[in-house]
Structure 1
Amino acid sequence: MLAAGRGRRFDASGQQDKLLQKLADGLSVAQHSAQNLLAVMPHSVAMLRPDTPVLADQLQALGIDCLVCHDADAGMANSLKHALRATADSAGWLIALADMPAVHLSTMMQLFDALQAGAGIAVPVYQGRRGNPVGFAHQYLSQLLYLQGDVGARSLLHSDLVTQVTVDDPGIHEDIDTPDALMLHLAAMGKPGA
């Protein structure tokens, strides 16, 4: 789970970490994002910046191994590559984003099942649009380790080898990038803005 971004769109000053914002049940955005991932992949890791001890404590309490990426500010690819190197013996990876708490457990399971059935790359699709998280089989490790900057694995997702997994989950398109996005999410959960 990638959780090493600065979240500048949420708070340019850096005072409020979007991943620590509380949702209706009192859990943070990152904790919600982690729960369904852990239900499908009990051995999960989160990539963090070194200055996020509260986030690390929250995720470790759920059972996620937390890794620190000291050069995360150079782009998402650095965090992703750090996680991949640390888990290079895995059969594959479900790459989730910590700011996407609305992704359904069923979506995680469908992506995992697609990888288990032989998909090299598995991408969720809702109403004709791709979203996150994305699954990669081990055969893509070398290509993933070659990624640069802040584009993540987008370049690999434009190949004909992608297995599109149709899901009934608008959460694959919903991230908490701005305070307005947080308010919309809270409203959808039935809690007025905090």
Structure 2
Amino acid sequence: MVTAILLAAGSSKRMGACNKLLLPWQGKTVLSSTTERLLAAGIEEIILVTGHEAPAIEATVANLPVYIIHNPHHATGMTSSIQAGIRIAHGQGYIICLADMVLITPAEYRLLATAFEEKYSTDPQCIIIPEYQGQKGNPVVFSASWREAILQHSEEEGCRTLVRSHPEHHFYVPMPTGHILKDIDFPEDYQTMIR
């Protein structure tokens, strides 16, 4: 089983005044849409990590079966939120999900979870990396064997150097679309996606 660590703690500074996760998306919010896609993929344990504007973030998924944990250190960077989620996760692997990657489909999440389940049996330290036309994207799936390494990781904005340091455990999954490359950083990103 994989646990989804859904990162929803950021301050969306590059978006200006609005919180990108609360923007409308297909009749819902960006965050609730992403969460529902993970649920539809059959991910049984989803840990939502909040930080900035936590009450509003929590309200948008109040009716969904997710665990919510607040990261009081969210301003220090993404890594602290990953660590907060991993501390309470029960899965054999952690799929590290960015809440603004709203284009990723349930089938694509399932593809990565299945790849982890298959690879884990032969490499208990596997790191699953999605790619599209030679470009690496997100979400990455870590075996739980990396738990302590991630908890001790000092890089503030994610686990890139940890991933790069262990190519012998990489397993690349070709994805059917470029959804794994698209997130919402700037207002124009959002406008392009909703057109």
Q: 2:138 aligns with which of 127, 132, 141?
A: 132
Structure whose residues are more often strand by fraction: 2
The partner residue of 1:72 within 71, 74, 85 is 74
Q: Determine the structure 2 residue equivalent to 1:123.
A: 129
User: Could you tell me which residue of structure 1 aligns to residue 60 of structure 2?
Assistant: 58
3-state SS of paired residue (2:131): strand
RMSD: 1.4
- Report the CA distance between 1:26 and its aligned residue: 1.5
Match of 1:46 among 35, 45, 48: 48
Q: Residues 123 and 164 of structure 1 are in contact (CA less than 8 Å); yes or no, is this contact kept in structure 2?
A: yes
Matched, 1:175 2:176: no
1:83 aligns to what?
Answer: 85
Distance in 2 (CA, whole Å) between partners of 1:170 and 1:53 is 32
Matched residue, 1:10: 15
The one-letter amino acid paired with 2:70 is V
SS in 2 for 1:151: coil
SS of residue paired to 1:132: coil
Secondary structure class of the residue paired with 1:96 = strand
Q: Percent identity?
A: 26
List runs of 5+ in structure 2 lacking aligned partners: 1-5, 121-125
| Structure 1 unaligned regions, length at least 5 | 188-194
Distance 1:91 1:60 in 2: 26
What TM-score does the superposition give when structure 2 sets the normalisation length?
0.88
Distance in 2 between the 1:106 and 1:169 partners? 11
Whole-Å Cα distance in 2 between the matches of residues 16 and 68 of structure 1?
20
> Would you say 1:94 and 2:95 are equivalent positions?
yes
May I ask how many residue pairs the two structures share in their alignment? 182
1:48-81, Cα deviation, whole Å (9 max, x unpaired): 0163212102123122211100011011111110
